[in-house]
Chains A and B, each alone.
Chain A
Amino acid sequence: MKEINPEKLKAGSNLEKVLVSGQFACTGEIGPPTYASFDVIDKHAEEMRGLVDSINFTDNQTAVVRLSSWAASVHLIQLGLEPNLQMVCRDRNRLAMQSDLLGAYALGVRNVLCLTGDHQAFGNHPGCKGVFDVDSVQLIHMLKRLRDDGCFECGAECKVPPKFFIGCAENPFGDPFEFRAIRLEKKIEAGADFVQTQCILDMERFELFMEKVRERGLHKRAYICAGIMPVKSPRMARYMQTGVPGMLVSEEFCQRLEKAEDPKAEAVEISVEYIKRCQQIEGVAGVHIMAVAWESIVPTIVKKAGLAPRPTF
């Protein structure tokens, strides 16, 4: 474990400390509910307590209206856990984004993950106006300037700048493939401190992506956490293989679930195996477990992968 110099921390979040100290990070994710209650968040937060370094809250994922990511994040802080606030460019312009982030920071949020967001056509309000005032790279840049230069996007001064640990996503499975590492470099140049990748259901492609990442030295400039998704049914795996844009799912992955007597147990097996493989890949600093609609399985995976208990500071 590397010594942490507190003065060199950008935000001082738990996630940042884990990564800076050189320990293999492990984060979870909760999709906030489509109704006005924290009940599911309470439930999953307790399940994940002590087993993850921070918990992502998705921001109207798949363009479906959900309890807001910042409210969920603040609630998690009240429970004594650390959130990672996801923010997409689809629903807010730069005024609203900066305003929400000032508020989130003032209420204790320290990690932000900047995303473009799924197109509004996918969600439950397909006729809505997608904002996309800034893109994810510009959002990262805006946050870095706010944090490091104390100025808003317009150049005006921000007296108490929010000191966020800035995250971005990258999809090693999108096209054009050759551009994906370049795109990640753009995000790191713009100010991303850490990266959470799209979930890996094709390990070979991910390894190829990491090669490109290492060629550019990106793993030395930002902490890269690999996305892990337990997929509990063969049907879901096939759907992700054919129906989800930007996803690559290997044939081997689908077949393993199809041949398994107990696909749920196999899903856990695969996740654990993938985590262990990721630990062997040079430049991977941690894993981000996205158990979409299966959050309760996260503790099992973390324990089986030998990642529990989590470091404390």
Chain B
Amino acid sequence: MIVVENKPVEEILQMIAPYKKILIAGCYGCVTVCLAGGEKEVGLLASQIRMARSKEGNEIEVLEQTVERQCDKEYLLKFQDNAREVEAIVSLACGIGIQYLAEIYEPIPVYPGVNTQFLGANRDIGKWEEFCMACGECVLDKTGGICPIARCSKHLLNGPCGGSQYGKCEVSKDVDCGWHLIYERLKALGQLDKMAEFIPAKNWHRDKGPRKLVKEELTLERD
């Protein structure tokens, strides 16, 4: 899941200061699951904005709408009616949704209502943890299913650095050493020999520039 965090309302108020009518666009995807950008949060942010602006004597009209996913054009088109009416949009989707929305509704300005954080798992209620950095070249087979790119602070591929102690990372006692976790897992799996294998320098970007994935069997247009 993509984990996001709400931006402080003050920051959003500053972004929308020039406008009298805006739309807050929510998403029922990841941001709803991590309680930052679903229908409820759209409503909450809308009220906060109305109250703040009313206090200043500078009323604002705020429309609210949430769609299934902002990373799909099909769903983004559902904003059409509301988007036409407003001067600006604040999106509570992840960075993908914000950008896609902005592209589709150009020249209406779209502002981010959240800070997109990472790809993570839900550990417990209200607790998320980064698991993957979408590097495009998975090494989980070599590391007991624990990612050294995402879970080692230095993205090391050949074991822990000299700062690993008592299972913790040198960066903070609150951070587990990713390689210590890998060591323990490989030991439990009876695969400790994998720790001795040399992993060569990583190909950080296989493609030139932003990555694209095309599954020919799914595309409608044929050459």
A contact residues vs B (CB 8 Å cutoff):
89-90, 94, 116-119, 121-122, 130, 132-138, 141-142, 153, 169-171, 173-176, 179, 182-183, 185-186, 189-190, 198, 245-247
Task: Please pick, from A121, A138, A142, the residue contacting B157 in the complex, using a CB distance under 8 A.
Answer: A138
Complex: A274 Cα to B160 Cα, angstroms = 27
Q: Is the CB of A116 within 8 A of B198?
A: no
CB-defined contacts of A153 to chain B, threshold 8 Å? 201
Stretch at the interface among B26-34, B55-63, B106-114, B166-174: B166-174
Query: B170 and A119: CB pair below 8 A?
Result: yes
B154–A169 touching, CB < 8 Å: no
User: How long is the Cα–Cα vector from A118 to B202 in the complex, in angstroms?
Assistant: 20
Shortest CB distance A179–B (Å): 6
Q: Which residue of B lies closest to A93 (CB)?
A: B204
Closest A residue to B158 by CB, please name it.
A137
- Which B-chain residue is minimally distant from A182 (CB atoms)? B196
- The closest CB in chain A to the CB of B197 belongs to A186
Q: Which of B153, B156, B159, B183 has the most CB of A within 10 A?
A: B159
A162 CA to B171 CA, complexed, in Å? 34
Cβ–Cβ contact B180 & A175, under 8 A: yes
B8 in contact (CB, < 8 A): no
- A183 contacts B154, C-beta separation under 8 Å: no
Query: What's the A-B contact tally at a CB cutoff of 8 Å?
Result: 101
A175 with B167: in contact, given A132-B155, A138-B201, A198-B162 (CB under 8 Å)?
Answer: yes
- Asked if B190 is an interface residue, CB under 8 A from chain A, the answer is no
B161 at the interface (CB under 8 A from A): yes
Distance (whole angstroms) from the CB of A62 to the closest CB of chain B = 11
Docked complex Cα distance between A173 and B169 (Å): 14
Please indicate the chain B residues that have their CB under 8 angstroms from the CB of A90 in the complex.
Answer: 154
A99: min CB distance to chain B, Å: 16
B12 interfacial by beta-carbon distance below 8 Å: no
Name the interface size band of chain B: 20 to 34
Given known contacts A132-B156, A176-B180, A137 and B198 CB-to-CB distance under 8 angstroms: yes
Q: Give every chain A residue within 8 A of B161 (Cβ-Cβ).
A: 116, 136, 174, 246
Residue of B nearest to A171 (CB): B162
Task: Tell me if B170 and A179 are in contact (CB < 8 A).
Answer: no
Known: A175-B167, A176-B180. A132 touches B154 (CB 8 A): yes
Give the residue of B167, B171, B183, B200 whose beta carbon is less than 8 angstroms from that of A179: B183
> In the complex, which residues of chain B have a beta carbon less than 8 angstroms from the beta carbon of A247?
165
Question: Would you call A189 and B180 a contact (CB within 8 A)?
Answer: no
Quick one: which of B162, B163, B177, B180 has the most chain A CB within 10 A? B162
Q: List 23 A-B contacts (CB under 8 A).
A: A89-B154, A117-B154, A118-B163, A122-B170, A132-B155, A133-B204, A134-B202, A135-B158, A137-B157, A138-B158, A138-B201, A171-B162, A174-B161, A174-B165, A175-B164, A175-B166, A175-B180, A176-B160, A179-B159, A186-B196, A245-B164, A245-B170, A246-B165
The answer to whether A189 touches B198, judged by C-beta atoms less than 8 angstroms apart, is: yes
Q: Are B162 and A246 in contact, CB atoms less than 8 angstroms apart? A: yes
Contacts of A171 in B (CB 8 A): 162
Taking CB atoms, residues of chain A closer than 8 Å to B156 are 116, 132, 135
- Establish whether residues A138 and B165, one from each chain, have CB atoms under 8 Å apart when the complex forms: no
Since A116-B156, A246-B161 are in contact, a sample of 20 more A-B pairs with Cβ atoms closer than 8 Å, ordered by chain A residue number, is A89-B154, A90-B154, A118-B163, A121-B153, A121-B171, A135-B156, A135-B157, A136-B158, A138-B200, A141-B201, A174-B160, A175-B165, A182-B195, A182-B196, A183-B158, A183-B160, A185-B196, A245-B164, A245-B165, A245-B169
Write out the residue numbers on chain A whose beta carbons fall within 8 Å of the beta carbon of B196.
Answer: 182, 185-186
A124 to B161, CA, bound (A): 21
Shortest A63–chain B CB gap in Å is 11
Give the distance in Å from the alpha carbon of A38 to the alpha carbon of B153 in the complex.
33
- Are the C-beta atoms of B159 and A186 separated by less than 8 Å? yes
**Which residue of the partner chain A has the closest CB to B155?**
A132
| A138: B residues at CB distance < 8 A | 157-158, 199-201
